[in-house]
Amino acid sequence: MAFFFNYQETTSEKAGLPPGTAVYVGEERTGPIKVTLTDYDRDNYTSLAELDEDNLKHLATTSSCTWLNIDGIHDVELIKKVGDIFNLHSLTVEDILNTRQRAKVEIYDNYIYFVARLPEFDEENKQVTLEQVSFILTDHVLLTFQEKESNAFNEVRKRIATGKGRIRKMCVDYLTYALLDSVVDNFFVVLENMGEELEELEEELLENPQPSTLHRIHLMKREMILLRKAVWPLREMIGTIQRDEVTFLGQEISFYLRDLYDHTVQVMETVETFRDIISGMLDIYLSSVSHRTNEVMKVLTIFAAIFIPLTFIAGLYGMNFNTAKSPFNMPELNWAYGYPFALGLMATVTIGMVIFFKRNKWF
Amino acid sequence: MAFFFNYQETTSEKAGLPPGTAVYVGEERTGPIKVTLTDYDRDNYTSLAELDEDNLKHLATTSSCTWLNIDGIHDVELIKKVGDIFNLHSLTVEDILNTRQRAKVEIYDNYIYFVARLPEFDEENKQVTLEQVSFILTDHVLLTFQEKESNAFNEVRKRIATGKGRIRKMCVDYLTYALLDSVVDNFFVVLENMGEELEELEEELLENPQPSTLHRIHLMKREMILLRKAVWPLREMIGTIQRDEVTFLGQEISFYLRDLYDHTVQVMETVETFRDIISGMLDIYLSSVSHRTNEVMKVLTIFAAIFIPLTFIAGLYGMNFNTAKSPFNMPELNWAYGYPFALGLMATVTIGMVIFFKRNKWF
Amino acid sequence: MAFFFNYQETTSEKAGLPPGTAVYVGEERTGPIKVTLTDYDRDNYTSLAELDEDNLKHLATTSSCTWLNIDGIHDVELIKKVGDIFNLHSLTVEDILNTRQRAKVEIYDNYIYFVARLPEFDEENKQVTLEQVSFILTDHVLLTFQEKESNAFNEVRKRIATGKGRIRKMCVDYLTYALLDSVVDNFFVVLENMGEELEELEEELLENPQPSTLHRIHLMKREMILLRKAVWPLREMIGTIQRDEVTFLGQEISFYLRDLYDHTVQVMETVETFRDIISGMLDIYLSSVSHRTNEVMKVLTIFAAIFIPLTFIAGLYGMNFNTAKSPFNMPELNWAYGYPFALGLMATVTIGMVIFFKRNKWF
Amino acid sequence: MAFFFNYQETTSEKAGLPPGTAVYVGEERTGPIKVTLTDYDRDNYTSLAELDEDNLKHLATTSSCTWLNIDGIHDVELIKKVGDIFNLHSLTVEDILNTRQRAKVEIYDNYIYFVARLPEFDEENKQVTLEQVSFILTDHVLLTFQEKESNAFNEVRKRIATGKGRIRKMCVDYLTYALLDSVVDNFFVVLENMGEELEELEEELLENPQPSTLHRIHLMKREMILLRKAVWPLREMIGTIQRDEVTFLGQEISFYLRDLYDHTVQVMETVETFRDIISGMLDIYLSSVSHRTNEVMKVLTIFAAIFIPLTFIAGLYGMNFNTAKSPFNMPELNWAYGYPFALGLMATVTIGMVIFFKRNKWF
Amino acid sequence: MAFFFNYQETTSEKAGLPPGTAVYVGEERTGPIKVTLTDYDRDNYTSLAELDEDNLKHLATTSSCTWLNIDGIHDVELIKKVGDIFNLHSLTVEDILNTRQRAKVEIYDNYIYFVARLPEFDEENKQVTLEQVSFILTDHVLLTFQEKESNAFNEVRKRIATGKGRIRKMCVDYLTYALLDSVVDNFFVVLENMGEELEELEEELLENPQPSTLHRIHLMKREMILLRKAVWPLREMIGTIQRDEVTFLGQEISFYLRDLYDHTVQVMETVETFRDIISGMLDIYLSSVSHRTNEVMKVLTIFAAIFIPLTFIAGLYGMNFNTAKSPFNMPELNWAYGYPFALGLMATVTIGMVIFFKRNKWF
């Protein structure tokens, strides 16, 4: 339930504050902030691990492509300084710091602002976390802000460093696309893990359904609700930038964006399919559990039913009518074969009932 | 159920009356009405706690920005007088007094009329109340009407008084936005409280589900229905004023409105997510309660099943066939070790059944 | 189920007849038909209780506003005659007589035709009936047709007679609006009554749920289905006449129509909210009934479980092994304190089981 | 289940065949094919029961209106010949023969092609069948194709023959409308029958719910699924021809089409309402059956609970401790009033338990 | 569950790779790849079973129509070579190799790219598989790529070879349509098989519902989810190419595309209908199983209830009060007809209870 708790606690702290106030809203963190400044064009490539203001201003004026990535946004002053350098609207700075945004795109005069949620699957707890990534795209500078250090963009970094593929031949618009593509690919990775989990659950469901199975199904269901909440606006956002001719995004990457959009739709459909499957699993669980209970109850009830008349017969011949000397008072007790007769009666009743139950297909 | 009762009782009183009749429709109240008149521009700021008609007319003609806030609308004559001063349509006056409106925006020639519902969480009863707030926006005058005194707008008042942020630099259109932003922020506060309540409920659900848990889940569900009914039209309303170029709302606050719209969407999605989670909790409750009952029943049934054959054996040797002197009549009773034999038989049956049940995984 | 029966029976009678055939379709009625002819302008007002053809034709040519209301439409010839006087299309006459229409608006060259359903709550049977009202609006004549006499429009009549409010200052377009407003107000009255019923039901549900409670919930649910079927097309219809510039409806009443539209949306949302609440009540009913049954069953099962070993012990010492003279054959029977020992054993078992059940929180 | 079987079996036969191949797809039929050729204008009327090619070609060139109706379409050659005479596209001929189409309209250069499904209620089996009707409308010729002879269009035929109403005054466009109107009216007839069935079912449900009741509810539900599948595209189709200005359909029948559209919407809403009601009936059935079972179980359990302590007491005094001569060994057995004491004890226990159960409102 | 496993495993392998990288994504296959090159015009027809590059380039420049079909796409190099010859965008090559696409159409300057999913019903496992088919359509060349050899297009091949129908008279646009038509027809074949399966299931359901029946219903449900996921985008895709005037698709085949679109809608509606029916079957299963269990339980409980008082009576007369010499101590035991009296008492109780149960309609 941690997600919901954080969610409310933090955004409510802002109630009443003037809009555009830069307040960090998110899990409390104190770790170091990692800054990576990458500058590249077709031929050159430099990478710095610190934020040198002058350097940055200089790069902003050259024609090379510059990518500034900041992992960790709890240092409000730093983010404000970056906002000042790149002339960002106060609402944008507020949005970067508020880590509970839904995916959206906002177009300003001098830059475009994207937000997306990057999913990661925690193998240990079998849980999905969703970190926020903000993108500021200007003419040839891309700023990205992540909540904490993650490996999601390492492959892209390697491609820039090695110059493989198209990435160095095009500028930051293609880089933006490549990073969004990594985000969408991460959804596929998460869904793959969930798919494996689903498979395991399904086997458990068929072989030995436990209350814990139900619990895991419910956790899966809730995670699907969260994933869905993250994917729908992402699709919307990518649809918007693909459909509208957005500044700073060159014509030549429209094919890529269309492809990306298709992938998001695919993610969305898989989420919906998983939801359908999970709700089917819930039905199977409930009906199989109730089937098992019914089976146990039925067998035991039948078992009891067979003994009921036997016990009655035993009770019958336990009556004390034999004390009165009358030929009508339990003559069976005085028969030489009284006891075998009683046992035989019991056997007959038992066999009769078993046949009756079998015929009615009760077991 | 108070909500529905009030709702109907009051609006039906109006059936048959001519449209545009000013009738107060809402909970009966008799408390004092609080009027606050705030006049400000970039440099000056005055605040009065009473409605001075002449003063008001004078302010309406000056270029300074004027905000008249009225807490409590059950004094119909006062509202009518204000309506006359500002030349409001009779339908608008009727709408201000009818506290059961859905959020909407109506554009008249000389003013715009907004209605929204302001949520408040009552900590004691763990209940949400929704009060109506009406806004009348003209060129440089803003009128707001609330059902009763509340603290929702205090932070904005402070910002005007202290002149912090943009608020004194812009006029009543920005003020309108700031107040709507407070309304939306209040939804976040309410949702945070609901989120904590949800968390508590969830723990209770997993540890010790009670019928009262079910009752609380149902109350949460109903409150979500009411919140949803309040948020959907709010989103619609803010969408309308953001999309259409609405008079009296300057171009420069369009960024703020877009931001506000995004927040309303976020509120709406959280409400929907909570609804999904609550319905999941209902399922968990029902299945866990039925699981517990099944467990109890199963254990008791198995327990009974074990004793059934034992009681039969005891009954068997309680039969009185030993009175007849026949070697076939219960020879066991005459064995020296008859009683230990019977006890042994019982023990064997018990052990056999326990093994059988264990093997079938019945307990 | 009466509604559905009438519905089909009557419309199917028309299968195969040429379209535009004037056939009365509705409950069989023979009561008198009440005609009211009201003629008014700003200064004059006359009201006649009979249909004088010449008079009517004369009024149709004067500039005063004329409202002809007919309560009861089972006199087909009368309706046809009126249709001829006002030059109505044969399909319109057919529609007026067919009392099972959904709300709609149809624009002809010389008039507009509206249909709406007027709800009324029958206090005795706690049931909602929906009567059809047809409106024919021309330049300055309004014809209305109701299925039977009702009080729904009395307030409007009074307003015309007394000349209060705007009604005499404007012509039949405002009158049309005022009547539609009465129709919508009646929905509020009905919903208020349903709301009270819901409240009663809810109390009953929490205190003493009975099968009759379930039955009443189902009746409420069905009435909501019918109300919904009546309100949705009404909203659509009012939306159409508000959006499109409809002839004969002056520009000045567009504000009123917008207001009316908002009210219809409010009715609709209340209906939807009630549906949600009713379905929640169904869930509560079912879970509370099953909870009660489970409680009874559990208590009785535990009760039985406690007596099972006791009965076994009693049976044990009812065995007849004491007849054989062997020290191994039920020595307890020969103990001096055998009986107290047996009773003590029983007490111990009972206490042990009660503790066991308590510890497992089974009661 | 016959519907689904036929459905698939037949269309799959066509897999792989070139599109536009004329293959009869439908139930196997060998009955005679009935052809009716009707030619009429304002003054003349002729009707032939055979397909005379020359005659037909001649009529096609005159200005009189010609209606060729073919009942039975399993004679592929005949349909092809008709297609050749009227110059129909091969896809149209294919569609006429494929009796599993959904309602649609297709506009070709020289004709319009409509398909609709005509419902018929089989009184005996209480089942609905849906036959396909194809319409080819040209300038003044209308071709209609039905799967088998039916009475659905007899009333229209009579109206042409007698010249009643508008039908002879207008040409084949009005005839098309009149036939479509008959189709829609047939839906009303079917729904009336279903309504009566529903009413019967409801009474059965309240008085004596049986498994067969459930079965009938499920059949109704399935028939609603099929009706719905037939009505939705019909509404769409009529909406299309009403909205778009379709060639061959004169301006003057647009009022009629609007009316027809409203009727289809009414059919659709009734189907949806019935679906809602049926799903409510399912809930009632399940809860009333489970209520009955619970009642039986509860009564029996209480009954057993009362006897359990009685049997224990009887067992208690059946113990054989009286053989030992000790004052502690069941002194009750030696009391003069021991037996009445035991009976009194049993009576006391019984009364006590009955009071306890009554107080807990368990029966 | 195999579908989901493959799905995720394979697409996640691509996470981080540069977009447009040609990687085979699909089940691991090593079988031979089958290439078929068909060249035809109105008069000539040649077919080659190998990919001769020069030949292909030559054909690409002639005016004859060329169809290159490749069954099996796991040879990445081959696909890349084909991509180079026809100048395909790297994203297209990537999409051809990624066998988990949803149906879509993408328009490039020099070609159109379609993807669809071809369903096949595996008779043995009663399972549906969905293979991906990619189409590249240029001016007069059509490339198709399938995952493995299949018979789906054999009929079309025969029609080209024999020159039957329109196929040789038109070029590759008609061929594209013919192949898409085969895809849609295959959905009908699959649905037919599912329909038969449904019928069987329904009979089983009514006669002898087993847990395995439930399992099969759930499998059907899941397959419907997958089919639905394949059909919806297909309909969308065909709708797009029918609505927009797509290059390379001549005007004359628009009628065919409209027809194809209607068929897809029909497939979709059948899938939805099947889903409705399956969910109804689930309800029937659950209610019939619970009905059966209830019946068994009820009969057994009644059976037990009858024996309970009998056993009590037997126990009563098994008490040992006869040892005390008192006239009040079980005088029945000393009666001459005590035993017959006791048996008679038992018989009376039994008959009384049977009558009671019958009267309450408990069995």
Alpha carbon of E138: minimum distance to chain D alpha carbons (Å):
22
Q: In the prediction, which pLDDT does C323 show?
A: 66
Q: Which residue of C has its CA nearest to D321?
A: C333
Confidence tier at C47 by pLDDT (50, 70, 90)? confident
- Is B301–A296 a contact, with Cβ atoms under 8 angstroms apart? yes
* D330-340 pLDDT per residue, tens: 788 888 788 88
Report the distance separating Cα D70 and Cα D62, nearest Å.
Answer: 21
CATH number assigned to the domain comprising residue E237: 3.30.460.20
More confident of the two residues A99 and B26: A99
Residue E12 sits in the same domain as residue E138? yes
Confidence tier at D14 by pLDDT (50, 70, 90)? low
Region of poorest pLDDT, from A68-77, A130-139, B247-256, D218-227:
B247-256
Please list every residue in chain C whose beta carbon sits closer than 8 Å to the beta carbon of residue B7.
192, 195, 270
Q: What percent of chain B has pLDDT over 90?
A: 16
Note whether D16 contacts C: Cβ–Cβ < 8 A. Answer: no
Q: Does residue D144 surpass a pLDDT of 90?
A: yes
| Residue A176: burial class (beta carbons within 10 Å; 0-12, 13-18, 19+) | buried
CATH number assigned to the domain comprising residue C327: 1.20.58.340
Region of poorest pLDDT, from A287-296, C122-131, E63-72:
A287-296
The most confident of B187-196, C279-288, E13-22, by mean pLDDT: B187-196
- The amino acid occupying position C291 is H
Contact E105, E80 (CB under 8 A): no
Report the distance separating Cα A249 and Cα A107, nearest Å.
Answer: 12
The average pLDDT across E160-183 equals 88
Report the distance separating Cα D136 and Cα B98, nearest Å.
Answer: 58
- Is C284–B21 a contact, with Cβ atoms under 8 angstroms apart? no
C interface test, pick of D319, D328, D335 with most C CB neighbours within 10 Å: D319
Q: Does residue D132 surpass a pLDDT of 60?
A: yes
Q: In the prediction, which pLDDT does B45 show?
A: 87
Report the distance separating Cα E18 and Cα A159, nearest Å.
Answer: 8
Number of CB atoms found within 10 A of residue A124's CB: 5
Residue B97 sits in the same domain as residue B168? yes
Confidence tier at C13 by pLDDT (50, 70, 90)? low
Closest C-alpha among E265, B61, B251, C202 to residue D115: E265
Handedness of CA D12, D17, D19, D23 (dihedral sign): negative
- The amino acid occupying position D28 is E
Contact B324, B253 (CB under 8 A): no
Of D254, D288, D322, the domain-final residue: D288
Please list every residue in chain A whose beta carbon sits closer than 8 Å to the beta carbon of residue E221.
280
Q: Does residue E106 surpass a pLDDT of 60?
A: yes
Handedness of CA A227, A232, A236, A238 (dihedral sign): positive
More confident of the two residues E179 and A292: E179
Q: Does residue E262 surpass a pLDDT of 50?
A: yes
Residue B258 sits in the same domain as residue B275? yes
- Is E20–A165 a contact, with Cβ atoms under 8 angstroms apart? yes
Average pLDDT of chain D?
83
HEC states along chain D? CHHHHHHHHHHHCCCCCCCCCCCCECCCCCCCCEEEEEEECCCCEEEECCCCHHHHHHHHHCCCEEEEEEECCCCHHHHHHHHHHCCCCHHHHHHHHECCCCCEEEECCCCEEEEEEEEEEECCCCEEEEEEEEEEECCCEEEEEECCCCCCCHHHHHHHHHCCCCCCCCCHHHHHHHHHHHHHHHHHHHHHHHHHHHHHHHHHHHHCCCHHHHHHHHHHHHHHHHHHHHHHHHHHHHHHHHHCCCCCCCHHHHHHHHHHHHHHHHHHHHHHHHHHHHHHHHHHHHHHHHHHHHHHHHHHHHHHHHHHHHHHHHHHCCCCHHHCCCCCCCHHHHCCCHHHHHHHHHHHHHHHHHHHHHHCCCC
Report the distance separating Cα B323 and Cα D6, nearest Å.
Answer: 77
Residue C8 sits in the same domain as residue C78? yes
Closest C-alpha among C318, D54, A332 to residue E318: C318
Q: In the prediction, which pLDDT does B324 show?
A: 62
Residue B340 sits in the same domain as residue B259? no
- Is B333–C323 a contact, with Cβ atoms under 8 angstroms apart? yes
Spatial CB neighbours of B5, under 8 Å, sequence gap ≥ 6: C195, C196, C199
Question: From the list B102, B104, B334, which residue is nearest C269 (CB)?
Answer: B102
Region of poorest pLDDT, from A261-270, B290-299, B311-320, D80-89:
B290-299
Instruction: Kindly list the partner chains of chain B, i.e. chains with 3 or more CB atom pairs below 8 Å.
Output: A, C
Residue C50 sits in the same domain as residue C125? yes
Average pLDDT of chain B?
83
Q: In the prediction, which pLDDT does B116 show?
A: 93
Chain E, residues 86-145, CB within 8 A of chain A, namely 89, 91, 95, 100-102, 104, 106, 108
Q: Which helix (H) or strand (E) holds A363?
A: none
Q: In the prediction, which pLDDT does B155 show?
A: 87
The average pLDDT across C46-50 equals 83
- Is B277–A14 a contact, with Cβ atoms under 8 angstroms apart? no
Closest C-alpha among A121, A158, A136 to residue A73: A136
Average pLDDT of chain A?
83
Q: In the prediction, which pLDDT does E13 show?
A: 55
Host domain of residue C226: 2-288
Please list every residue in chain A whose beta carbon sits closer than 8 Å to the beta carbon of residue B315.
311, 314-315, 318
Residue E300 sits in the same domain as residue E277? no
Confidence tier at B180 by pLDDT (50, 70, 90)? very high
* E217-245 pLDDT per residue, tens: 888 888 898 898 889 999 989 988 887 76
- Is B8–C273 a contact, with Cβ atoms under 8 angstroms apart? no
Residue spans of alpha helices (H) in chain E: 2-12, 53-61, 76-85, 90-97, 154-162, 172-207, 211-243, 254-316, 338-359
Q: In the prediction, which pLDDT does A1 show?
A: 32
Alpha carbon of D234: minimum distance to chain C alpha carbons (Å):
18
Structure tokens at C327: 């020290």
- Is A326–E335 a contact, with Cβ atoms under 8 angstroms apart? yes
Alpha carbon of A16: minimum distance to chain E alpha carbons (Å):
42
Q: Does residue C187 surpass a pLDDT of 90?
A: yes
Residue C96 sits in the same domain as residue C119? yes
Of E288, E314, E341, the domain-final residue: E288
- Is E18–A165 a contact, with Cβ atoms under 8 angstroms apart? yes
Q: How far is CA E39 from CA E145, E172, E250, in A?
A: 17, 10, 19
Q: In the prediction, which pLDDT does A182 show?
A: 92
Of E228, E256, E288, the domain-final residue: E288
Q: Which residue of A has its CA nearest to B177?
A: A19
Confidence tier at A151 by pLDDT (50, 70, 90)? confident
Is this prediction's ipTM beyond 0.85? no
- Is A192–E319 a contact, with Cβ atoms under 8 angstroms apart? no
- Is A303–B305 a contact, with Cβ atoms under 8 angstroms apart? yes
Spatial CB neighbours of D311, under 8 Å, sequence gap ≥ 6: C311, E308, E311, E312, E315
Confidence tier at E166 by pLDDT (50, 70, 90)? confident
Note whether D57 contacts C: Cβ–Cβ < 8 A. Answer: no
Q: In the prediction, which pLDDT does A137 show?
A: 92
- Is D101–E259 a contact, with Cβ atoms under 8 angstroms apart? no
Confidence tier at B178 by pLDDT (50, 70, 90)? very high
Note whether B20 contacts C: Cβ–Cβ < 8 A. Answer: yes
Q: Does residue C36 surpass a pLDDT of 80?
A: yes
C interface test, pick of D158, D182, D259 with most C CB neighbours within 10 Å: D259
- Is D89–E255 a contact, with Cβ atoms under 8 angstroms apart? yes
Average pLDDT of chain C?
83
Confidence tier at D15 by pLDDT (50, 70, 90)? low
Note whether B363 contacts C: Cβ–Cβ < 8 A. Answer: no
Q: In the prediction, which pLDDT does B345 show?
A: 92
- Is D280–C102 a contact, with Cβ atoms under 8 angstroms apart? no
Global confidence as pTM: 0.77
Q: What percent of chain E has pLDDT over 70?
A: 93
Beta bridge partners of C120: C129
Chain A, residues 268-287, CB within 8 A of chain E, namely 269-270, 273-274, 276-277, 280, 283-284, 287
Report the distance separating Cα D4 and Cα E54, nearest Å.
Answer: 51
The average pLDDT across C55-83 equals 84
Contact C39, C59 (CB under 8 A): yes
Q: Does residue D351 surpass a pLDDT of 90?
A: yes
Q: In the prediction, which pLDDT does C14 show?
A: 61
Region of poorest pLDDT, from B313-317, C24-28, C66-70, E104-108:
C24-28
Residue E239 sits in the same domain as residue E310? no
Q: Does residue E6 surpass a pLDDT of 70?
A: no
Confidence tier at A6 by pLDDT (50, 70, 90)? very low
* B88-122 pLDDT per residue, tens: 988 899 889 988 888 888 888 889 999 999 998 88
Q: Does residue A187 surpass a pLDDT of 50?
A: yes
Task: Give the alpha-carbon dihedral of B75, B81, B82, B88, to 10 degrees.
Answer: 110
The average pLDDT across C319-337 equals 77
Residue A197 sits in the same domain as residue A332? no
Q: How much of chain B is in helix, strand and coil states, percent to nearest 5?
A: 60, 15, 30
Q: What percent of chain B has pLDDT over 70?
A: 93
Residue D316 sits in the same domain as residue D220? no
User: In chain E, how many domains are there?
Assistant: 2
Residue D43 sits in the same domain as residue D93? yes
Contact C85, C57 (CB under 8 A): yes
Confidence tier at A10 by pLDDT (50, 70, 90)? very low
Spatial CB neighbours of B307, under 8 Å, sequence gap ≥ 6: C308, C309, C312
Region of poorest pLDDT, from B151-155, B295-299, C115-119, D142-146:
B295-299
Q: In the prediction, which pLDDT does C6 show?
A: 36
The average pLDDT across D246-266 equals 84
The most confident of C114-118, D28-32, D150-154, by mean pLDDT: C114-118
Confidence tier at D363 by pLDDT (50, 70, 90)? low
Spatial CB neighbours of E264, under 8 Å, sequence gap ≥ 6: E184, E231, E234, E235, E238
Average pLDDT of chain E?
83
Note whether B339 contacts C: Cβ–Cβ < 8 A. Answer: yes
